[in-house]
């Protein structure tokens, strides 16, 4: 079987993930505290500045915990939002230290962008044909599709004042919708203030060819330009449903989620058929 290793994004945190990192990757725990300036695991609910590096470390601890044969057998890699950095590190395209510094900076910049833009938010749209109806729903309310997660789950992003009307419209279409408890309109043009500093940081890191195939959540195709796609990911949607279909089309018939939670396995179950789904 051909295995695709999946790295989760924000919202996948679990209470025990710090203990996992301390047991499996104590060096990584020490590094992330130094890079962030405090222990992000104790502040994971205080915003992306802490949640993103914490989840990144927990995901890499999950990757490290696989036996050597499992790691060597991995043919494909993909990550949801911040998970792309974990996927690129696991594939050898980025060093672990560069990935850690980038994800800590990314989390801080996204939190600051949300706070400076103000009045941004996100709404989850759920139900049959949600992915088919979400683009028009977003256009009608001046929102952006932020996460196309599965045929039945899409997240819209934009001005908070537009969200209640979007919820009402979604419900009129027979969908369920809920405003999410986040501090910004992530993966939308409201994140543009994060671009200059993140671009400068990306230019300083070394990018290597790595091994296997890493699929970008921006293009739903294998990474062509790592720096460009990571930068675009700040303001463009996470095309996760298409990533799952692309991986399957490339030959992946086993999907292995590493890191905290089981969010990605659940999304894959709703998107691709006749595959093996595993959580490490």
Is 187 one of the catalytic residues?
Answer: yes
- Tell me the angle at which helices 48-65 and 96-117 cross, rounded to the nearest 10 degrees: 150
Longest dimension (CA), the chain: 51
Question: What distance in Å separates the CA atoms of residue 219 and residue 51, rounded to the nearest whole number?
Answer: 25
- Which residues lie closer than 8 Å to 206 by C-beta, 6 or more apart? 94, 95, 98
Tokens of 61: 């601890």
- Which residues lie closer than 8 Å to 73 by C-beta, 6 or more apart? 3
Residue of 141, 187, 188, 216 marked active site:
187
Which of 28, 17, 65 is CA-nearest to residue 256? Answer: 65
- Find residue 74's DSSP bridge partners: 3
Question: What distance in Å separates the CA atoms of residue 72 and residue 70, rounded to the nearest whole number?
Answer: 6
Residue of 12, 59, 81, 157 marked active site:
81
DSSP string, 132-181: HHHHHHHHHTT-EEEEEEETTEEEEEEEGGGHHHHHHHHHHTT-EEEE--
* CB 52 within 8 Å of CB 17: no
- Which residues lie closer than 8 Å to 65 by C-beta, 6 or more apart? 20, 24, 258, 280
Which of 241, 13, 219, 233 is CA-nearest to residue 102? Answer: 233
Is 80 one of the catalytic residues?
Answer: no
**What residues act catalytically?**
81, 187
């Amino acid at each position: 079987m051909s295995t695709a290793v999946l790295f989760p994004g924000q919202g996948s945190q679990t209470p025990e993930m710090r203990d996992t990192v301390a047991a499996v990757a104590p060096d990584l725990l020490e590094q992330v505290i130094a890079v962030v300036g405090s222990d992000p695991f104790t502040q994971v609910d205080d915003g992306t500045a802490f949640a993103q590096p914490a989840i990144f470390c927990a995901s890499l601890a999950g990757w490290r915990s696989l036996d050597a044969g499992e790691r060597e057998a991995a043919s494909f890699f993909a990550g949801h939002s911040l998970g792309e950095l974990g996927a690129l590190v696991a594939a050898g395209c980025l060093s672990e230290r560069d990935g850690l510094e980038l994800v800590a900076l990314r989390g801080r910049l996204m939190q600051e962008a949300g706070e400076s833009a103000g009045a941004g938010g996100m709404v989850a749209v759920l139900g049959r044909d949600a992915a088919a109806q979400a683009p028009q729903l977003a256009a009608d309310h001046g929102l952006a599709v932020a996460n196309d997660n599965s045929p039945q789950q899409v997240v819209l992003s934009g001005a908070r004042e537009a969200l209640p009307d979007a919820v009402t419209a979604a419900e009129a279409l027979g969908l369920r919708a809920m405003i999410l408890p986040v501090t910004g309109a992530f993966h939308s043009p409201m994140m543009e203030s994060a671009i200059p500093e993140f671009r400068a940081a990306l230019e300083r890191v070394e990018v290597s060819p790595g091994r296997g195939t890493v699929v970008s959540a921006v293009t739903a195709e294998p990474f062509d330009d790592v720096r460009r796609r990571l930068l675009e990911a700040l303001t463009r949607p996470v095309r996760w449903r298409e990533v799952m279909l692309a991986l399957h089309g490339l030959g992946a018939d086993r999907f292995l989620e590493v890191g905290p939670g089981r969010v990605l396995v659940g999304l894959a179950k709703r998107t691709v058929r006749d595959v093996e789904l595993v959580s490490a």
